[in-house]
Amino acid sequence: MGVVTPFPTAGGQQPSQVGFDRAELTRILDLYGRMVAAGHWRDYSVSFDRDAAVFCAYRRAAERPEYRIEKRPALRNRQGMWALVGEAGAILRRGHELGPVLAPVERKLMKLVAE
């Protein structure tokens, strides 16, 4: 009764969509909550595709996202599966772990609180 059997994938291929696990999403939403409390972000969106899971943070809902946090498992063995993408679409930071990728945003939060 306590055994969970996953759905089989077609032909043993990769899963149909990429997602965040609980620890990753907790880390991202913690940062989001602190930025909202500082008055910097107001909205977010989450997208799960076949190739990537993307968390977007907005200053206002009608604008482009200020930051996109992307998880692309296909790049795990190369540049790293995590990427922080800026508003203009430039990749600001890429890495194998989530913490160092979020560091530029957390430093910005420190400056906001200090002012």
pLDDT tens for residues 93-110?
998 998 899 888 888 877
pTM: 0.78
Asked if residues 57 and 67 have their Cβ atoms less than 8 Å apart, the reply is yes
Q: Tokens in use for 105?
A: 């945003």
Structure tokens at 80: 């790293």
pLDDT for residue 62 is more than 80: no
Q: Is the pLDDT of residue 23 over 80?
A: yes
Q: Which of 57, 49, 61 is nearest to 19 (CA)?
A: 49
In this prediction, residue 8 has a pLDDT band, given cuts at 50, 70 and 90, of low
Is the pLDDT higher at 17 or at 95?
95
Greatest extent of the chain over all pairs of C-alpha atoms, in Å: 55
Q: Name the 3-class secondary structure at 89.
A: coil
